[in-house]
Structure 1
Amino acid sequence: MSSITLKSVEKWFGTAQVIKGVDLEIAEGEFVIFVGPSGCGKSTLLRMIAGLEETSRGQILIGDRDATSEPPNKRGLAMVFQSYALYPHMSVRDNVGFPLKSAGLPKAEIEAKVNEAAEVLKLDSYLDRRPKDLSGGQRQRVAIGRSIVRDPTAFLFDEPLSNLDAALRVEMRYEIAKLHQTLKSTMIYVTHDQIEAMTLADRIVVLEFGKIAQVGTPRELYERPANLFVAQFIGSPRMNVMPIGAVTGGETPPGGVSLGIRPEHITLTEPGAGNVDGTVDILEYLGADTYVILSCNEAGQITMRVNGAAPCKPGDRVGLAFSETDRHVFDSDGQAVR
């Protein structure tokens, strides 16, 4: 295991700057996830750490060692890609042990390490199968096993679950979470799926146009977003944002221009008795929850979450009351002022 530190790292492709001076410290054994919209630079930043992309400026430290100019095979890192990249003619046993065979390790040592990785990943009964005989989730576990046997200083995951269906994604999220608990290794993980980020990460790094918008625990980002971008990127359904002038009641801090409120922090009232009035447009029933989507004049479209079935129907005119303690206020630059 090892810590990883980025010091003012930049990446340029010709005259285009895609990583714009990122500073980040990842502690030994920490699980950090990079999230952000397509094109924000999250995969590029991961590839720079791996050594697959050259760092244009700045430093990358692995432990106390400056690894900025080291080739990938000298960094001691293991990378798991979106595609499994397994050898179809090899068994699971041979696929997992291939890096060790290439390194010239003795057969007995290779066998011991392969068996240990197979036990951790519950692949014991699949060792003699070939990739075509495995499910997508099992193939991804084989790819992870190939990384485990190298005993890396850190694991790098580049959207490893994006090729799986919804049920397998849930299963593999569990597997990866258990793997981190078992190995206690430093892990850096890239995803566009905020559910993966919220459920797996010790800390999340939200990237916006090559810069860090905010770093924090999932709870910190959800409850105390530093700006409008993070407020609306983290959370599903996303935070409702409206002009402060469209909301009646409540205090407005100096400099506040926009008010944000999450769907679960809104309650239904009689028209005129809350902070905003609106007309129910659509009900999205999900079983335990229902999302109520309303048109609210100057406040725009607002989504609220209620438990179970909603006590209203499309076309109803209702009032919405916002929790006083759960409001978020942003200035004209989109920065949080409360």
Structure 2
Amino acid sequence: MASIELNGAEKWYGSAQVIKGVDLSIAEGEFVIFVGPSGCGKSTLLRMIAGLEETSRGQILIGDRDATAEPPARRGLAMVFQSYALYPHMSVRDNMGFSLKAAGAPEADIQSKVDAAAQVLKLEPLLERRPKDLSGGQRQRVAIGRSIVRDPTAFLFDEPLSNLDAALRVEMRYEIAKLHQALGATMIYVTHDQVEAMTLADRIVVLEGGQISQVGTPRELYRNPGNLFVAQFIGSPKMNVFEAGIAGLTLAAPAPANAVKLGIRPEHIALVEAGQGQIDAEVDVLEYLGADTFVILDAGAAGQVTVRVTGEHAPAPKTQVALSFAPEDTHFFDSAGRKI
């Protein structure tokens, strides 16, 4: 396994710059996830690391060597895509061992590595089946197994679970987490699903417009977002954001002088009697999810607000309430969207 480092990495398509000077260090054995909205450059950045996209400017280091100009085959990386790309006429065993066979590896070595990967991924009972006889989750495990047998310096995942249904995504998140624990491998993973990012990553890289907006552990990004974009992108439901000087808003402690916006997470708001909190609101819609209920309120000039409450403890629609939140749970942002 190897560390990966990007120094001023840029990608240009003609006069259009899509990756804008990215600096990032990924430690050996670290699980790093790229997230961001569509078009932010996360897949392009991953493909640059893989060598599938040329790096226009800057440097990519794999371990202690400069791999910027190396072709994909020399980088020693394994990539897992959305598409499983399995050979339909081959068994699971032959699919997993095909790259080694094509490289001329001895048959005994191929079988040994396939058996070891199958054991890690719980594929032993499926080795003689064809892809058409497998579920979507099993096919994805085979695609991952095909990468494991190559003993790569790092694994690159490009939205590998996007084609699976909700239940299978949960199952495969668990499988990938266990795989990382078992292999201790360097992994870079691209997803648009922040649940995957929050549950799997050692660190998350939030991308916006081809640049890194913030890097940190899931807890750091959730508890201490560095800017308004990260504050609203990380978290589901997203952070509520108000104008700091909005009429009717009474804060328990004064806002910083340069505060333009204030943010509060849905679970950090309590519903109290009208007139007893920071701002009054009317219950609009309830979204019951079992253990939690999301209460969506109309807070007048403050707009729509979402509050997370426990299970059944939610007021009925049209109820007049107030929103109460503590100063320590309030985030303030300046006119440029930076956290104060």
TM-score, normalised via structure 2 length: 0.98
| Structure-2 residue corresponding to 1:107 | 107
| Structure-2 residue corresponding to 1:67 | 67
Which SS does the other structure have where 2:245 is aligned?
helix
CA contact (8 A) 2:140 2:160 kept: yes
Whether 1:272 and 2:279 are equivalent positions in the alignment is: no
Separation in 1, partners of 2:15, 2:87: 38
Separation in 2, partners of 1:35, 1:165: 20
Whether 1:328 and 2:312 are equivalent positions in the alignment is: no
| Structure-1 residue corresponding to 2:83 | 83
Whether 1:242 and 2:245 are equivalent positions in the alignment is: no
Pick one of 287, 292, 297 that aligns with 1:289: 292
Offset, 1:70: 0.0
Aligned-pair Cα RMSD in Å: 0.6
Separation in 1, partners of 2:144, 2:272: 51
Per mean C-alpha deviation after superposition, the further-off stretch among 308-317 and 29-38 is 308-317
Identity among equivalent positions (%) equals: 74
| Structure-2 residue corresponding to 1:124 | 124
CA contact (8 A) 2:293 2:314 kept: no
CA contact (8 A) 2:280 2:321 kept: yes
Separation in 1, partners of 2:202, 2:210: 22
Whether 1:184 and 2:178 are equivalent positions in the alignment is: no
Which SS does the other structure have where 1:2 is aligned?
coil
Which SS does the other structure have where 2:212 is aligned?
strand
Offset, 1:323: 2.0
Per mean C-alpha deviation after superposition, the further-off stretch among 267-276 and 170-179 is 267-276
Per mean C-alpha deviation after superposition, the further-off stretch among 96-105 and 307-316 is 307-316
Which SS does the other structure have where 1:204 is aligned?
strand
AA at the equivalent of 2:61: L
TM-score, normalised via structure 1 length: 0.99
CA contact (8 A) 1:232 1:238 kept: yes
Deviations 1:194-236 (A, max 9, x none): 0000000000000000000000000000000000000000000
Separation in 1, partners of 2:322, 2:46: 46
Offset, 1:311: 3.5
| Structure-1 residue corresponding to 2:230 | 230
Separation in 2, partners of 1:271, 1:29: 52
AA at the equivalent of 2:115: N
Structure 1 stretches (4+) deviating beyond 4 angstroms? none
Unaligned runs of 5+ in 1: none
Which SS does the other structure have where 1:245 is aligned?
coil
CA contact (8 A) 1:292 1:310 kept: no
Offset, 1:324: 1.8
Which SS does the other structure have where 1:212 is aligned?
strand
Whether 1:301 and 2:304 are equivalent positions in the alignment is: yes
Which SS does the other structure have where 1:100 is aligned?
helix
CA contact (8 A) 2:283 2:297 kept: yes
CA contact (8 A) 2:35 2:207 kept: yes
Separation in 2, partners of 1:55, 1:27: 21
Offset, 1:310: 3.1
Deviations 1:123-155 (A, max 9, x none): 000000000000000000000000000000000
Offset, 1:245: 1.4
CA contact (8 A) 1:120 1:179 kept: yes
Unaligned runs of 5+ in 2: none
Residues matched between the structures, number: 337
Offset, 1:336: 0.3
